[in-house]
Amino acid sequence: MRHLLQALTLVLCISAASAQQPNVKHYIQQVAAGWTSDAKKALPDLLIEAPDDPGVLFLHASLIEDAKKASPLLERIVDAFPKSEWADDAMARLIIISATKNDMEKARKTFATMRDQYSQSDLLPVVYEIMRSTVGAPAPSERPPVAATTTKPAAATPTKPASNGYSLSVMTTTERSEAMQFAGKLKRKGIKAGVVPLPGSAVTRYSVRVGDYETEAEALKDLVLVR
């Protein structure tokens, strides 16, 4: 009986371990910062271990340069895993792809779906601004948005610094120590991050920025990867 219980415990531990979702967030953050080598090395094993995990699918799509080839993976996340934490990210990425290709009808249709299904997503205002500057603002919703029950960090937005490049602003705060702490946390994950003071107000605000992109289009491509 003792050996039977030990064997049963071992089986349960193995099952629990295999049921755990792989942690791909740090790889996705690295891709957003322009560092893809670690993610590319890890992806083959991740696809073998968890081929149907929405996080792995999103990472896979993020590493594909061709948006046409990445879209089916993003659509699969939306269709097969609508309650996943990556579903609104995938839908936002699909909207950005359509908007940058000037496919107004598809972008607006997908945005309407995202607004209905993920009304509390912090990516909605970001995607709205991208559409407004590309294919035009989507039609207003016929119903008021649902009030959020939790507080999330501000969505990343493309920002042009003093240099000729672009970066993503992932956090803004009046506390320099808080900004430095968050930037340090990103750096420990291998993400290029820095703190920039924002002038123009009585109280100095500090922006945490990641990435170094030559064009705004490149920054927009990785926009939904940084949350």
**Helix, strand, coil percentages, rounded to 5, for the chain:** 55, 10, 35
211: region left, alpha or beta (phi > 0 left; psi from -120 to 50 alpha): left
Q: Over the stretch 135-147, which tens digit does the pLDDT of each residue have?
A: 888 877 655 444 4
Please write the tens of the pLDDT for every residue from 156-207. 555 555 455 667 777 788 888 888 888 877 676 656 778 888 876 677 888 8
Buried b (16+ CB within 10 A) or exposed e, 46-84: beeebeebbbbbbbbbbeeeebeebbebbebbbeebeeb
**How does DSSP classify residue 52?**
T
Task: Supply the pLDDT for residue 48.
Answer: 94
Report whether CATH 3.90.1170.10 matches the domain 10-132.
Answer: no
pTM of the model: 0.60
Question: pLDDT per residue over 37-70, tens digit each?
Answer: 999 999 999 999 999 999 999 999 999 989 889 9
Banded pLDDT at 108 (limits 50, 70, 90): very high
Residue range(s) occupied by CATH 1.25.40.10 in the chain:
10-132
- Looking at residue 53, its pLDDT comes to 94
CATH of domain 157-225: 3.30.70.1070
Provide CATH 3.30.70.1070 ranges for the chain: 157-225
What mean pLDDT, rounded, does the chain reach?
76
Question: Residue 63: which of 92, 85, 33, 31 has the closest Cα?
Answer: 31
- CA dist 48 and 45 (Å) reads 5
